[in-house]
């Protein structure tokens, strides 16, 4: 992990800690759930189409989760979507992207405990 990645990770951890406890699950629910992004399978497909298949496979698989950057995630979700979510939840867009990049790998990992996406994903 490079110094920039370490700093980004520290900043994301700090940003997540500064958010209200219910905001992160709510935002994550919007992205992975029935929000405008189409659910877990749709997000996974978007990430794979964007060339992030190795990261996605690591999250779904049983090994260590590879990281994703806030910038990569914002590219996949779209700047407009990130801005809309940020406004809706009252947090800065860059903070939202950083926090999502930090928590998304673990969320996908937990949603696929047997190394595969659930059928309803």
> What domains appear along the chain, each with residue ranges and CATH number?
3-111 (1.10.10.690)
pLDDT of amino acid 71 = 92
- Cβ neighbors of 11 (< 8 A, separation 6 or more) are 98
Burial of 19 (0-12, 13-18, 19+ CB in 10 A): middle
| CA gap 111, 72 in Å, rounded | 21
Average confidence (pLDDT) over 53-64: 90
Q: Tell me what pLDDT residue 19 has.
A: 54
- The per-residue pLDDT for 6 is 39
- Answer yes or no: is pLDDT of 43 > 80: yes
- Whether 61 has a pLDDT exceeding 60, the answer reads yes
Residue with tokens 């994301």: 12
Rg (CA), the chain: 13
Q: What average pLDDT does the chain have?
A: 76
- At 68, give phi and psi (nearest 5°): -130, 145
Task: Read off the pLDDT band of 49 (50, 70, 90).
Answer: very high
Distance CA 87, CA 7 (A): 25
For the CA atoms of 59, 38, 82, 30, the dihedral, rounded to the nearest 10 degrees, stands at -80
Share of the chain above pLDDT 90, in %: 18
3-state secondary structure of 51: coil
The pLDDT, as a whole number, for residue 37 is 54
Q: What is the pLDDT of residues 75-112, one digit of tens each?
A: 988 888 888 888 888 888 888 888 889 888 988 888 88
């Amino acid at each position: 992990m490079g110094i920039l990645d370490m700093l980004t990770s520290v900043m994301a951890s700090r940003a997540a800690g500064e958010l209200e406890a219910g905001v992160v699950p709510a935002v994550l629910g919007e992205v992975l759930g029935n929000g405008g992004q189409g659910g877990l399978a749709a997000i996974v497909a978007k990430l794979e189409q964007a060339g992030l298949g190795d990261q996605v496979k690591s999250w779904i698989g049983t090994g260590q989760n590879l990281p994703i950057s806030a910038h990569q995630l914002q590219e996949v979700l779209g700047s407009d979507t990130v801005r809309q979510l940020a406004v809706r939840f009252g947090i800065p867009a860059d903070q939202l992207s950083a926090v999502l990049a930090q928590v998304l790998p673990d969320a996908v990992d937990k949603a696929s405990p047997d190394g595969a996406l659930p059928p309803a994903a």
